[in-house]
Amino acid sequence: MCGILAVLGCSDDCQAKRVRVLELSRRLKHRGPDWSGLYQYGDCYLAHQRLAIIDPASGDQPLFNEDEKIVVTVNGEIYNHEKIRSTLPNHIFRTGSDCEVIAHLYEEHGENFVDMLDGMFSFVLLDTRDNSFIAARDAIGITSLYIGWALDGSVWVSSELKGLNDECEHFEAFPPGHLYSSKTGSLIRWYNPPWFSEAIPSTPYDPLVLRHAFENAVIKRLMTDVPFGVLLSGGLDSSLVASITARHLAGTKAAKQWGAQLHSFCVGLEGSPDLIAAKEVADYLGTLHHEFHFTVQDGIDAIEDVIYHIETYDVTTIRASTPMFLMSRKIKSLGVKMVISGEGSDEIFGGYLYFHKAPNKEEFHRETCRKIKALHQYDCLRANKSTSAWGLEARVPFLDKEFVNVAMSIDPEWKMIKPEQGRMEKWILRRAFDDEERPYLPKHILYRQKEQFSDGVGYSWIDGLKAHAEKHVTDKMMLHAGHIYTHNTPRTKEAYYYRMIFDRFFPQNSATLTVPGGASIACSTATAVEWDESWSKNLDPSGRAAIGVHNSAYEKHLTPSVASGDLTSKIMDSSPPLVMGVNAPPGLIIRG
C-alpha cells in the first residue's frame, strides 16, 4: 500500500504551503517507505509515499499522461493493467507501473472510466488543462481514503486521517465505490452491481462456477515484482487462499523471481488455536511456514500504536488489529512486501455465527449485503492499516469485484445454514472446493467451524485486554460516560479505554464520527437481536458469546456421542451420496 495526500484549490501557494504539505505527507511515510514525490500546479498539490510492488525501478509517482497535462497519485493495484494497455495502442506509457493506465484512461474516456479498473485503489487525478480534479475509491473500500474541507475552500484527500485532520474544518471517510468530481462538487456512485439494491438473487448454485471465480481472484493477485506470502490462520478462508496460491505459484513470474515454495505466516499466543491449525495446513500444503508468538503484555504495550495507525476505537477491530499489527512488523523484517489474506468471506457467505438464526433467505441475503457495505469500516480498515503501518501490502481475493458479483448472485437459499441437511456456515464455499480426486484441503480443515480471529490467536488475549482496561477505567468514569462521549457512548470499560486513547490522537468531532458504533458487537446488533432476542443482553463483541448457541443448534441433529465428539465428521457422514449438477441438492461432492 502507498500513501496519498492531495490538497486542491488552496488559497496559499507559497513555499511555506509546500513545506506544510510535505510535512503532512510524511505522516503517511509508513505506508510507502520506498520513495516520495510531490507535484504542484498552482494551488494544487499531489503528494505520494510509495510502496514499490510493481516496477520498483521506474514507477515513482505522481504519474502522468504523454504531455504531462494529466497527473495522478494512486494507492493500490490495478490487476488488469496489461489488458487495459492493449486497448490503448495510441498512448505512450513511460513506466511499467500498473497505476499509469489511470491517466491514459481518463485522457481517453473522461470521468467515466473507473468501472474499467479491476483492482483495489484510491486515487486523485488532476487535469491541468482546466484545473479540474477527481478522486475515487475502489468498489468495496479495500484501500483507505478520507476527504476533508478547509476554511479556505480547499479540498483535501488523504489515505489516512492523520494526513488531514489538523487542517480541515470537516472531514469524513470517502465512501467506497464513489467518485468525487470538482466539476459538480459532489460524490457520485460508480459501482452499482445488482446485489447493491439488496434485491433477492435467483441464480442457481453452480459449485464449479464459484470455484473457478475464486481461483481467478487469487491468481490475478500473484502479480508482483517483490517477495510475497500468505496470511494463514488455519481457518477455512485463509487456508483456501493458501491452497490455491500454492497450486498456481509454480510457473509464475513471482516463482521464477522468488522461488516456487510459498511462504505462509501466522501469529498467536503460545499454543493458541490459530497456531496449531495453521501449522497443520502449512504441513499439508508444503509451505515455508513462519510462526510468530506474542504475549498478552506485548499486545497491551502496542495498543496505543495500533489505535494511532488503525484510526478507530471499535472494540472488535482493535482486538483483531493488534496481533495483525505485530505480525506485519515481523513479516516486513523478513523482506516480504506483499501478503494475500482472507478477509470478506464471512460477509459474502454469512459465515458469522449469528447467521445460524436467520429466519429466511431474504433476511439472510439482506444482512450479507449490509455486511459487505460496511466492510470498509471494519475488516478492510484493519487489514489495510495493520499491514500498511509497516510498509506491507495486503491483497484480499474474496473481495475481488468479479468474484463478489458471482457469489452475491447465487440464490441465498443455498447459503442458509441447515444442520439437518449437513449444511454448516459457508457451506457453498466449502462444497465448491470439496474435490475428492485432487483435494485442496483435508476434510476436517475444509469443514472446520469458524473461530473469531481475536479469539483464535489465544483466548487469554481478550481476557487480558479486559483486565487491563479494568485497571484504567473506574466505575465512576463509566457512570458518566454518556456525558463525556455523547456519540457512540462506550458500554464497557474496554471500549472506554480505547476511546480515551483515540481522542488523544484525533480529538476532532469529525474524527469521532468516522467510527460507526464504537461498542459494536461481532454482528449487526439490530439484526442479531431481531433474529435472537438473547443477543440484546450481550455487551461483549467476541464471537465466543454465540458459539454455545451455534453448537447447540447442530447438536439437536446429532446423537449424544457425536455431539460431544467430532462434529465435522458427523456432518460429512450425514451427507447423502448425490451426483454433481447445477441444481444438485445438499451433500454433493465436486470433482473438477
Query: Cα(262)–Cα(18) distance, rounded to whole angstroms?
Result: 44
Q: Is the dihedral of CA 414, 415, 416, 420 positive or negative?
A: positive
63 sits in which H/E element:
strand 63-64
Nearest CA-CA partner of 214 in 180, 241, 238: 241
Please tell me the chain's helix, strand, coil percentages from 3-state DSSP, rounded to the nearest 5.
Answer: 45, 15, 40
Question: Cell digits for 271?
Answer: 499454543
- Per the annotation, does 456 bind a ligand? no
Catalytic residues: 2
Q: How far is CA 255 from CA 224, 248, 251, in A?
A: 10, 9, 6
The answer to whether 435 is a known ligand-binding residue is: no
For residue 267, say whether it is annotated as part of any ligand binding site.
yes
Helix/strand/coil for 101 = helix
The answer to whether 396 is annotated as binding is no
Q: What are residue 263's DSSP bridge partners?
A: 288
Is the CB of residue 457 less than 8 Å from the CB of residue 451?
Answer: no
Is 55 annotated as ligand-binding? no
Strand-strand pairing, 44-50 and 63-64: unpaired
Beta-carbon contacts of 98 under 8 Å, excluding residues fewer than 6 positions away, are 54, 55, 77, 78, 79, 81, 119, 223
Chain centroid, CA 231 distance in Å? 13
Contact 345, 327 (CB under 8 A): no
The dihedral built from the CA positions of residue 277, 278, 281 and 286, taken in this order, carries a sign that is negative
d(CA 533, CA 549): 12
Grouping H, G, I as helix, E, B as strand and the rest as coil, residue 301 is helix
**What residue numbers does the annotated binding site for ATP cover?**
231, 267, 341-342
**What residue numbers does the annotated binding site cover?**
98, 231, 267, 341-342
